[in-house]
């Protein structure tokens, strides 16, 4: 059991680090989603709330899409993200496996799928999550909710 906790923390840290929303944007999405897990699938809710990007950042960027838009973010719990019935069940299997290097193998398989432009996550709930986000956004906008834009750095002009 002690072995599982560090692997689980590592896996969650890895996925959370990929999220590129600013803290202000994450707070805004949680407010829009009533600070509760919006995952549409059956699961045991738990593990803390986080902002999930429905179209994963690496996948979106592979197609030239900026993943940091309001309709791509949804509040879900950690179990919905990495649980056995969640979005990334490969991480659940890897973190509970006694096989050495299981997490590394899962990440390698994801990279292979990404390079082949194949989804590397459980897509079953994507459409439902997009619908939930649309509903929550429409409801929140009626009360004045706005998604904060991310500040971008101005590029330095090169001198010629």
**pLDDT at residue number 84:** 85
**pLDDT at residue number 154:** 53
Would you say residue 157 lies in a domain?
Answer: no
Q: What is the domain count for the chain?
A: 1
> In the beta sheet, which residues pair with residue 50?
76
Return the half-sphere exposure (C-beta side, CA atoms, 13 A cut-off) of residue 11.
28
- Cα angle for residues 136, 139, 143 (degrees, 5° grid): 130
**pLDDT at residue number 152:** 57
Residue 125 structural domain: 4-140
Would you say residue 17 lies in a domain?
Answer: yes
pTM attached to this predicted model:
0.78
**Cα gap 16→20, rounded to integer Å:** 9
pLDDT-flagged residues of the chain (< 70): 1-19, 151-160
In tens, the pLDDT along 27-52 reads: 999 999 999 999 999 999 998 999 99
Would you say residue 160 lies in a domain?
Answer: no
Would you say residue 148 lies in a domain?
Answer: no
């Amino acid at each position: 059991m002690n072995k599982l906790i560090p692997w689980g923390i590592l896996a969650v840290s890895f996925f959370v680090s990929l999220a590129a929303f600013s803290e202000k944007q994450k707070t805004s999405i949680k407010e829009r989603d009533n600070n509760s897990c919006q995952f549409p699938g059956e699961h045991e809710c738990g593990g803390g709330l986080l902002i999930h990007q429905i179209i994963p950042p690496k996948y979106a960027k592979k197609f030239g899409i900026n993943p940091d838009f309001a309709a791509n973010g949804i509040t879900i719990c950690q179990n919905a993200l990495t649980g056995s019935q969640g979005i990334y069940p490969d991480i659940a299997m890897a973190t509970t496996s006694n096989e050495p290097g299981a997490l590394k193998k899962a990440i390698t398989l994801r990279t292979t799928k990404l390079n082949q432009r194949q989804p590397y996550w459980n897509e079953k709930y994507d459409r439902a999550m997009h619908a939930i986000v649309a509903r929550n956004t429409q409801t929140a906008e009626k009360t004045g909710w706005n998604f904060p834009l991310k500040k971008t750095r101005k590029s330095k002009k090169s001198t010629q």
